[in-house]
Every structure is written in structure tokens, then in C-alpha cells.
Structure 1
Amino acid sequence: MEELRGQATAGQIEEWKKKQGDIFKVEVGDSVCYLKKPDRKTMSYVATLGNNPIRANEALLQNCWLGGDESIKTDDEKFFGVSAKLAEIVQIKEAEITKL
């Protein structure tokens, strides 16, 4: 198995998990990056870019980036590949409302 560009060590991954909680590994081509869940501040900023989905994905990627192959941010094909998966890191808990 060929090593991916930007691959983190097991120790680095554990360190990120301690600081960030859930982290996500995204592989695209021969590269990999690691992302954390976006916080409310990040999502608020991304929402202001809603009319420009590419810019919104750039902002989400930049703000959630923990490490990996920097070419993912600059190579259009890799960026678009990762962009297609970014919605999966935005996790929303199911809410219930009851009229009393």
C-alpha cells in the first residue's frame, strides 16, 4: 500500500482527537488531509458566502484544516474532490419540538 502525501502519524492523529474531538480523514487522489468539525463561528462565516459556493468551501476547508497535503488547497481537481465531501463533516443533531 502506497503512502499518501500529507499522511499524519498515529501520534499526531491522537493529539488532534484529544484537542478537537472527532476528526475526519479525507483522501483524494494520492493526497490526504485531516479536518475537524466546524464550530458555530466558522459556520456563521461560511453562511455569509452562501451565494459563492466555491468560496464557502474554501473557507470551510481552511477553518477546519488540521493537517495534510497542502496541494489539496491549491490543486483544483483535489479541491473539488474534497469539496464534494465537506458537507459530511457538518453534523447536526436531530431536534424535537413538542407543543405543551
Structure 2
Amino acid sequence: MTNIDQAQIDAWKAEYEEVWRLTVAGKVGFLKMPTRKILSYAYVAAKTDPFKFPETIINECWIAGDEELKTNDKLLMSASAHVEKMVQMEEAELVKL
């Protein structure tokens, strides 16, 4: 992987709402925050294969990094366990009046 410097990360932060660094076994990837469209696509894919949710998020939100994170099953499965951190919802309240 090409070295990513702070200037590049700052440029990504200006372009995307949030930028995440994913590290597995020394391999590094950078991801943007998933949009509603990406989340919808991931949830639909997960209906037939639950593993497709994190895989879709990683593939669709990928900015740059070690491609092996997306192609090596062992690394992808390890990375998948952390994808939910990107999809945290705000606390909401619904009250019947």
C-alpha cells in the first residue's frame, strides 16, 4: 500500500463526512461513512447471506488501502466484525400522544 499521509486523510475528511482506518494483521484500509443508499443495498444483500452486509459496507465504502483486506477471506472476516462501529445510530425516542 502507498503510504497515506495526514494531508491525504485531511483531504478525505473534507470530501466525506467521516473517514475510518481499518487495520487487520498489519494491512490497512480507509473507509468513508456509508450513505443511506449503501446501507439499504447492504441490508438487502444480507437477506440472502448475512455475511454480505459487512462485505458490502467494506466494498462500497472503500477509499484506499491494502486490497488484500477485501480479497483475503480470513482478513475480510476479521474486518467484518468491526463494520458495525461505522453504523452507529443516534438515540431516538417515540412517544404516543
So what's the TM-score if we normalise by structure 2? 0.88
Aligned to 2:93: 96
SS at match of 2:90: coil
Q: How many residues align?
A: 96
Rounded Cα–Cα distance in structure 2 between residues aligned with 1:97 and 1:56: 27
Q: Which one of the candidate residues 62, 71, 75 is aligned to 2:72?
A: 75
Give the letter aligned to residue 45 of structure 1: Y
Q: 1:7 and 1:90, CA in 2 relative to 1: closer, same or farther beyond 3 A? A: farther
Which blocks of at least 5 consecutive residues in structure 1 are unaligned? none
Q: CA deviation at 1:30?
A: 1.6
Task: Give 1:64's aligned residue.
Answer: 61
SS at match of 1:79: helix
Q: What residue number does 2:11 align with?
A: 15
From 67, 83, 88, give the equivalent of 1:86.
83
Identity of aligned residues (%): 33
Q: Which runs of 4+ in 1 moved over 3 A?
A: none
Q: CA deviation at 1:7?
A: 4.5
Give the C-alpha shift of residue 6 in structure 1. 5.3
Structure 2 spans left out of the alignment, 5+ residues: none
Task: Give CA-to-partner distance per residue, 1:14-55, whole Å, 9 cap, x none.
Answer: 011011122111110021111111111001111111230222
CA RMSD in angstroms, aligned pairs only: 1.4
